């Protein structure tokens, strides 16, 4: 099977949130009790969670006196250079990749719920479920892909904003869509060609990159290597979520101190 991708043509998204419902339905995820969130994004629920693996976010800006309103479906981007996999401390890794398709998924039988993937993902995607202490996120519907089906969100999208196929084909389509948008006077950006060595969820952002809440140059954090070093003395059999949590906490403090030091030097 070739490398796969979902193309998200946001110029066609109408924020119906059918994808959100389809994801819940296929993955048997319960609804969440939510309250209206009036901050940036305005979406409901506010963020991804162990029960919500995809979410449509809302954005607005005023331009030349008129209001521009745009939407972005958020979920795991299935990065080629995935910080979550690099950070996952168990052996073999619980956060892993299907080599053929490029899909990143959690093998729950190995997951210890330590949250290293949560801490290091540059997009805030995975969340550890308190009930079973396993990391949860979009699986790219790998169970459907293996049966020759498309992901549930793609199947349900009524506007054609989500397209599934071989990654090479999706990149070609993304470029063609961006070209058309440019000719129509829009300012499109394709997110996922080079970011983290290539994503398997590729966005065509019709309003340009700055308008949305995606990081401009996402990176695998440098101190992942230090985390590995700190955990090395602990044997695979005795590694616990608490030990990983302590190591992450220590590295966070070091990072904060370094930032404070730099700020001091500036003054
Ligand atoms: S978006 Fe986050 S969870 Fe998904 S593959 Fe990339 S680093 Fe991992
Ligand atoms: S919670 Fe820990 S063990 Fe589980 S996938 Fe994330 S990093 Fe790996």
ipTM: 0.85
Taking the CA of residue 118 as reference, the ligand 2 atom at the shortest distance is 6
Q: What is the pLDDT of residue 255?
A: 81
Q: In this structure, how many other beta carbons lie within 10 angstroms of the beta carbon of residue 54?
A: 24
Mutate to test the pocket of ligand 1, among 48, 49, 78 (most ligand atoms within 8 A of CB): 78
Answer yes or no: are the C-beta atoms of 129 and 120 closer than 8 Å.
no
- Residue 184 Cα to ligand 1 midpoint, Å, equals 33
pLDDT average, residue stretch 175-204: 97
- Residue 88 Cα to ligand 2 midpoint, Å, equals 5
Confidence grade of residue 193 (pLDDT, cut at 50, 70, 90) = very high
Mutate to test the pocket of ligand 1, among 104, 138, 200 (most ligand atoms within 8 A of CB): 104
**DSSP code for 52:** B
55-63 and 66-74 strand pairing: antiparallel
Taking the CA of residue 78 as reference, the ligand 1 atom at the shortest distance is 5
219 cis-preceded (ω within 30 degrees of 0): no
Query: What CATH number is associated with residue 170?
Result: 3.30.70.20
Taking the CA of residue 124 as reference, the ligand 1 atom at the shortest distance is 2
Q: How far is 137 from 254, CA to CA, in rounded Å?
A: 28
Q: Is residue 130 part of a domain?
A: yes
Please give the tally of structural domains in the chain: 1
pLDDT beyond 80 at 40: no
pLDDT beyond 90 at 145: yes
Q: Is residue 25 part of a domain?
A: yes
Taking the CA of residue 95 as reference, the ligand 1 atom at the shortest distance is 8
Helix boundaries (H) for 28-141 = 83-87, 116-120
252: Cα within 13 Å, side-chain hemisphere:
9
pLDDT average, residue stretch 119-139: 97
Q: Is residue 120 part of a domain?
A: yes
Q: Is residue 230 part of a domain?
A: no
Segments forming the whole domain that contains residue 11: 1-222
Q: In this structure, how many other beta carbons lie within 10 angstroms of the beta carbon of residue 175?
A: 14
pLDDT beyond 90 at 34: no
Taking the CA of residue 88 as reference, the ligand 2 atom at the shortest distance is 7
Q: What is the pLDDT of residue 256?
A: 83
Please give the structure tokens belonging to residue 240.
């616990």
pLDDT average, residue stretch 176-191: 96
84: Cα within 13 Å, side-chain hemisphere:
31
* Residue nearest atom 5 in ligand 1 by C-alpha distance: 78
Say whether 219 sits in a helix, a strand or coil. Answer: coil
% of the chain beyond a pLDDT of 90: 72
Please give the structure tokens belonging to residue 13.
């998204």
pLDDT beyond 90 at 151: yes
- CA of 90, nearest ligand number: 2
Q: How far is 139 from 83, CA to CA, in rounded Å?
A: 16
Please give the structure tokens belonging to residue 66.
């008129």
> Which tens digits make up the pLDDT trace of 212-257?
999 999 999 888 888 888 887 777 777 888 888 888 888 888 888 8
Residues with CB under 6 A from ligand 2: 87-88, 90, 94-95, 106, 111-117, 128, 135
pLDDT average, residue stretch 101-121: 96
Residues with CB under 6 A from ligand 1: 76-79, 82-84, 104, 121, 123, 125-126, 137
Answer yes or no: are the C-beta atoms of 5 and 77 closer than 8 Å.
no
Q: What is the pLDDT of residue 160?
A: 97
Supply the mean pLDDT for the chain: 92
- CA of 139, nearest ligand number: 1
Mutate to test the pocket of ligand 1, among 48, 120, 126 (most ligand atoms within 8 A of CB): 126
Q: What is the pLDDT of residue 82?
A: 98
Answer yes or no: are the C-beta atoms of 204 and 9 closer than 8 Å.
yes
């Amino acid at each position: 099977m070739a490398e796969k991708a979902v193309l998200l043509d946001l110029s066609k998204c109408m924020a119906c949130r059918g994808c959100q419902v389809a994801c819940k339905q296929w993955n048997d995820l319960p609804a969440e009790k939510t309250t209206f969130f009036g901050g940036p994004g305005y979406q409901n629920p506010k963020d991804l969670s162990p029960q919500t693996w995809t979410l449509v976010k809302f954005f607005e800006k005023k331009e030349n006196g008129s209001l521009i309103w745009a939407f972005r479906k958020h979920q795991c981007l299935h990065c080629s250079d995935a910080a979550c996999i690099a950070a996952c401390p168990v052996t073999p890794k619980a956060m892993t990749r299907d080599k053929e398709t490029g899909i990143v998924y959690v093998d729950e039988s190995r997951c210890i719920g330590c949250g290293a993937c949560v801490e290091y993902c540059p997009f805030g995607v995975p969340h550890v479920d308190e009930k079973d202490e396993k990391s949860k996120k979009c699986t790219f519907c790998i169970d459907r892909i293996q049966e020759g089906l498309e992901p549930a969100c793609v199947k349900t999208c009524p506007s054609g904003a989500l397209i599934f196929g071989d990654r090479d084909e999706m990149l070609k389509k993304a470029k063609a869509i961006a070209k058309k948008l440019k000719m129509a006077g829009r300012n499109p950006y394709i997110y996922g060609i080079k970011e983290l060595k290539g994503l398997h969820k590729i966005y065509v952002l019709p309003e340009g990159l700055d308008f949305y809440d995606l990081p401009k140059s996402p990176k695998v954090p440098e101190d992942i290597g230090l985390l590995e070093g700190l955990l090395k003395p602990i044997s695979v059999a005795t590694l616990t979520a608490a030990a990983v949590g302590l190591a992450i906490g220590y590295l966070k403090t070091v990072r904060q101190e370094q930032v404070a030091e730099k700020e001091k030097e500036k003054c």
